Amino acid sequence: MALRSDPQKLLRQVMARFVREEVAPVARQVDESGRFPRELFVKLASMHAFGLRYPVKSGGAGGNATLYCIMCEELAQGLMSLAAIAAKQCLMATNFLHRFADQDMRERYFLPALKGELVGSFCLTEPEAGGDLGRVSTTAVKDGDGWIVSGMKTWITNAPVADFFTVLCQTDPGKGIRGLNFFFVPRDTPGVRVSPNFETLGTRSTEISEVAFNDCRIPARFLLGQEGKGLGALLAILAEIRAMTAALALGLAKAAYQAGFQYAKERSAFGKTINQYQLIQSKIARLATDIWAAELMLYDTTAKIDAGQRPSKESMMVKYFATEVACRACDEATRILGAYGYSMEYPVQRYFRDARFLLYGGGTHEVLQTNIARELGF
Ligand SMILES: Cc1cc2nc3c(=O)[nH]c(=O)nc-3n(C[C@H](O)[C@H](O)[C@H](O)COP(=O)(O)OP(=O)(O)OC[C@H]3O[C@@H](n4cnc5c(N)ncnc54)[C@H](O)[C@@H]3O)c2cc1C
């Protein structure tokens, strides 16, 4: 089975070791700091993590979607904030540069981002446009030999520390979603304003904020891709974005399951360890089954992506399923730990809070279920 091939096993071992030795010992402190984990970010870059899914000739490590998701899964077992930051840097923050940047942009932004010297952000969401991208109102208007970008983006992961932004803009409001295009905006462009970090329930060291683009003038070459093809450019990576979110969910579910499993074997109540009670066994059996199913779905989906397919329906199903499994696993783990599941001393409370982060990116579950039903011809 593809999952067991050597590069995959090796990557799993390397990432698991990194998590055990470098991430787990500081995870609580990093989470409580609420700050971007720069030191771990740079360490990951030195392991070539951010170039993992790019070809060697582009400066990457020559991996694929399966390897990328294995990395995300392993990191999420240690600290979801770090996993989310790395996942974004590898894919959404750098992918449009990889596909569409000229040589100068490649050298000034793309390669330094793979080396962890620059941080990128991906800006779709607006105060009035979440899942419904047809409502995007940030505009890019042609002005001589360049573009003027104006509008407000919100909920932008890494924005407080970002050096550049990939921004979804409307260039032709009459065309609706067919008028959407991506633009590259460096942070030092006059008119860029980044708000203070949002206070959030989970993934607390992933810094998130609003970004205002006040008449930002950028050169023509900062249009990423062919004019009018922005939606297609997004669709080209959408299945991988959803698979990546499922990988984060799978990693978190495994961490929560493991915490519950271990605690149940050690904790005694009413004369025996609690793993001997059928109601606890039922939780563990159900979670193990769900986790196995999520894993099979995930790596079946990534194998299809790696084979050059666009598994739209499968990627929505696995994002939806794996995230529900993660939420359930984190909930059950906090129950199995009793009062200790409620204590800030144990990481299970962090898993519980971080699980909610998975519900939004790649599509909310209400929207995904609607789209899955549509793809089923229902
Ligand atoms: C931690 C975090 C990090 C994020 N990072 C980024 C980022 O880096 N870049 C970025 O661009 N965005 C980011 N986002 C925003 C995220 O992509 C949006 O939250 C998501 O697209 C949903 O948009 P919304 O929250 O505005 O909800 P809305 O789309 O307004 O939906 C609100 C509710 O209505 C439901 N709903 C909407 N449409 C339908 C429908 N057709 N049928 C049934 N129900 C429906 C939704 O399911 C939801 O329950 C982030 C969000 C969070 C929480």
* Ligand 1 pocket check for 182: Cβ under 6 Å: no
pLDDT at 2: 46
115 with 45: CB under 8 angstroms? yes
| Ligand 1 center from residue 245 Cα (angstroms) | 14
Between the alpha carbon of residue 167 and those of residues 24, 117, 137, 138, 312, the distances in Å are: 34, 20, 12, 9, 23
Distance 123 CA to ligand 1 centre (A): 13
**pTM, two decimal places:** 0.97
d(CA 300, CA 14): 22
* HSE-up (13 A, CA, CB side) for residue 105: 24
Protein residue with least CA distance to atom 24, ligand 1: 130
183: β partners: 167, 223
Determine the Cα–Cα distance for residues 177 and 133; give it in Å rounded to an integer. 7
pLDDT at 145 over 60: yes
pLDDT of residue 5: 75
Distance (Å) from CA 124 to ligand 1 centroid: 10
| Protein residue whose Cα sits closest to atom 28 of ligand 1 | 130
Q: What is the number of the ligand 1 atom nearest to the C-alpha of 202?
A: 1
Which domains can be identified in the chain, with CATH numbers?
A: 2-114 (1.10.540.10), 120-228 (2.40.110.10), 231-375 (1.20.140.10)
* CA 319–ligand 1 middle distance (angstroms): 14
What's the mean pLDDT in 164-192? 96
- State how far the Cα of 244 lies from the Cα of 69, in Å rounded to an integer: 5
Q: Find the mean pLDDT for residues 358-374.
A: 96
**C-alpha of residue 353 to centroid of ligand 1, in Å:** 17
Is residue 146 lining ligand 1, measured as CB closer than 6 Å? no
The overall average pLDDT reported for the chain is 97
130 lines ligand 1 (CB under 6 A): yes
| 3-state SS record for 247-302 | HHHHHHHHHHHHHHHHHHHHCEECCEEHHHCHHHHHHHHHHHHHHHHHHHHHHHHH
- Choose one of 90, 364, 366, 368 to mutate for the ligand 1 pocket test, by most ligand atoms within 8 angstroms of C-beta: 364
Q: Is 156 in the pocket of ligand 1 (CB under 6 A)?
A: yes
**Ligand 1 pocket member 205 (CB < 6 A):** no
The angle subtended at Cα 91 by Cα 211 and Cα 9, nearest 5°, is: 145
Question: For the segment 100-138, what is each residue's pLDDT rounded down to a tens digit?
Answer: 999 999 999 999 999 999 999 999 999 999 999 999 999
pLDDT tens profile 64-106: 999 999 999 999 999 999 999 999 999 999 999 999 999 999 9
SS (H, E, C) 188-242: CCCCEEECCCCCCCCCCCCCEEEEEEEEEEEEHHHEECCCCCHHHHHHHHHHHHH
> What's the gap in Å between 363 CA and the centre of ligand 1?
7
Question: What gap in Å lies between CA 52 and CA 61, rounded to an integer?
Answer: 5
